[in-house]
Amino acid sequence: MSIRRLPEHLVNRIAAGEVVERPASALKELVENSIDAGATRIAVGLGEGGLARIEVADDGGGMTRADMALALERHATSKLPDEAIESVSTLGFRGEALPSIASVARLTIESRVAGAEGWARTVDNGEVVRDAPAALPPGTRIVVEQLFARVPARRKFLRSARAEYGACLDAVRRLAMARPDIGFSVEHDGRRALQVAGGQDRPTRVAALTDRAFADNAVPIDFDRAIDSGAYVLGGVASVPTYNRGIADHQYLVVNGRPVKDRLLMGAIRGAYAEMLPRDRHAVVALFLDVPMGEVDINVHPAKTEVRFRDPQLVRGLIVSGLRRALDEAGLRVVRHAPVDLAQRWTSEPIPADSAMRYEPSPHQGTAVMDRRPTFFSPPPQARAEPAWTPPAPQADHPLGVARGQVAKTYIVAETEDGLILVDQHAAHERLVLERMRAALVGGRVAAQALLIPEVVELDEPACDRLEARGAELAEFGLEIERFGARAVLVRATPALLGQADPTGLVTDLADELAAYNEALSLKERLDAVAGTMACHGSVRAGRVLSVAEMNALLREMEVTPHSGQCNHGRPTWIKLAHGDIEKLFGRR
């Protein structure tokens, strides 16, 4: 077969496969055009998650009739006045988006330059069907309808309207994060989903677009490094290690005002938080990196979400150093919690009256010793001593021995015939709860414990949509929820196996995990992940004082539970020090 030149409409369809992957891709390109046009306000309207309709209106510079016709041709752009592509400062520059969208959808452009008449042009899957005057204020309004309606091979691979809506909202949120000087609004099916005012600074915009708790649990980033061609400047905010999420979707990265999803940058964030986060948790960050134009290549992929740095090691080192310095300065700061029932849960160790020793200073002592004591009636340091109401079982009968005490309110110390056992009480109980949940699901469903007062959990709208769509499946795990407005769900029952679980933390983590799942998979096919998340929230926490009976009960259950040697995240639940190891520590062997 001889080589032939492809027709223009087919070329545009092929290009659309790279530029317009889904409604969020088309929306991103249109909003970027509005930003490049100098808009101060951008309004987005969506229908059925962008599958039926995408509308973007701005108050930018607008286009003349001639420019509008030229904009619908491939590789026609106003953003490259010369051939210096390495110095481009606009978000768009390839001139592919509009003709690509127009080849796979019905595209209507209405635009007006200040002081001139407005004009409208409609292109239906590559064919011009309307070219006429239009009445509108200065600026541009673009409407995309029935995306991929005539390309069933692409349409069938799109996800549900809810999933596509979530992707569209994320795309606008990232662009709004990058440009706090511009006002953004998003309406979905006639209902306002997002609105931020223009003229904000970065911290204000970040706080407006992220979870309200993030601002209270974040540290500021301000780091720079100078080189011969200019300065690398890193700014933004990052969460303290104890404030983390189950997926990396809450990491916002901006390079020279352009939102990106770059592997190098995400790897640098993981490196900065190494040894501070569990393996399956991710930091929440909003980082703004400004580098000299010649040090970064933005023309890597048509979607323009990837960049390539001239010196990647310098960039990685800058991010790791900047984040670690900020985290080091945070010191002992952890997630701020202010539970209303804190006073009721506060308990203190009672000290018997007869054990309090009155301090009697010796006549031979000076005042220096007396000054060191906080009070003349302070008792000497004491440890907790608890009688065992039942005689301990013989150590030889149990591989994990019998409980002798608790260290740091986290680790159980048990004695066996041939050594000592140290048990991480949270990790061990987490595994036990998971195995109980698995056994319950094999029998049908997990028993639910109704809450006396249902708890309202506030989340963003896409997260609520994901939970609502999986409500029936979550009920089989013992978690009963229902929608409570646009941005909240009502928790009516939690799995009985979890005991006094934290509904807010549990539902938040489940919403994050559901975002990473394929919609075609049921939750039972993701049993380990879902049950593991629930088990983590229902386990005995580090820091809880256990009685001798509770410690022994935990040890006995570990001995008969499969896989109890490691927790759900792969960490060991217990270690053993044999008598020989202890003797070596003391130099006896």
**Which of the four pLDDT bands, split at 50, 70 and 90, describes residue 243?**
confident
Q: Looking at residue 356, what is its pLDDT? A: 45
Instruction: Examine the pLDDT at 374 and tell me if it is beyond 80.
Output: no
Distance CA 91, CA 178 (A): 11
**Which of the four pLDDT bands, split at 50, 70 and 90, describes residue 269?**
very high
List CB contacts of 88: < 8 A, sequence separation 6 or more. Answer: 79, 80, 298
Counting residues of the chain whose pLDDT is more than 70, the rounded percentage is 79
pTM comes to 0.70
Instruction: Examine the pLDDT at 583 and tell me if it is beyond 70.
Output: yes
Lowest mean pLDDT among 164-168, 319-323, 369-373, 518-522: 369-373
**Which of the four pLDDT bands, split at 50, 70 and 90, describes residue 84?**
low
The packing angle between helices 503-515 and 527-537, to 10°, is 160
Q: Looking at residue 499, what is its pLDDT? A: 75
pLDDT, mean of residues 431-452: 82
Q: What is the pLDDT of residues 329-357, one digit of tens each?
A: 775 454 544 443 433 443 444 545 554 44
Instruction: Examine the pLDDT at 396 and tell me if it is beyond 90.
Output: no
Q: What is the pLDDT of residues 17-41, one digit of tens each?
A: 667 889 999 999 999 999 999 999 9
Instruction: Examine the pLDDT at 242 and tell me if it is beyond 50.
Output: yes
Domain ranges of the chain: 8-79+91-201, 210-330, 392-589
Q: Looking at residue 227, what is its pLDDT? A: 84
Lowest mean pLDDT among 58-72, 132-146, 511-525: 511-525
Q: What is the pLDDT of residues 95-134, one digit of tens each?
A: 788 988 999 999 999 999 999 999 999 999 989 999 999 9
Q: Which residues of 381-416 are buried (b: 16+ CB within 10 A; e: fewer)?
A: eeeeeeeeeeeeeeeeebebbbbeebeeebbbbbbb
pLDDT, mean of residues 428-449: 81
- Residue predicted with more confidence, 525 or 483: 483
Strands 106-112 and 282-283: unpaired
Mean pLDDT, all residues of the chain: 82
Lowest mean pLDDT among 168-172, 187-191, 541-545: 541-545
pLDDT, mean of residues 134-142: 95
CATH numeric code, 210-330: 3.30.230.10
Q: Are 79 and 93 in contact (CB under 8 A)?
A: yes
pLDDT, mean of residues 307-320: 92
Q: What is the pLDDT of residues 402-434, one digit of tens each?
A: 999 999 888 999 999 888 999 998 888 888 888
CATH numeric code, 392-589: 3.30.1370.100
Distance CA 567, CA 580 (A): 27
Q: Looking at residue 343, what is its pLDDT? A: 38
**Which range is most confident: 63-72, 94-103, 436-445?**
63-72
Q: Looking at residue 570, what is its pLDDT? A: 52
Q: Looking at residue 122, what is its pLDDT? A: 96
- Residue predicted with more confidence, 420 or 540: 420
Q: Are 471 and 501 in contact (CB under 8 A)?
A: no
Lowest mean pLDDT among 106-120, 287-301, 360-374, 394-408: 360-374
Instruction: Examine the pLDDT at 323 and tell me if it is beyond 80.
Output: yes
CATH of 8-79+91-201 among 3.90.950.20, 3.40.50.2300, 3.30.565.10, 3.40.50.10420? 3.30.565.10
Q: Looking at residue 21, what is its pLDDT? A: 87
Distance CA 287, CA 218 (A): 12
Q: What is the pLDDT of residues 489-522, one digit of tens each?
A: 999 998 887 777 788 888 888 888 788 765 555 5
List CB contacts of 116: < 8 A, sequence separation 6 or more. Answer: 64
Q: Are 105 and 149 in contact (CB under 8 A)?
A: yes
In this structure, the number of other CB atoms found within 10 A of the CB of residue 352 comes to 8
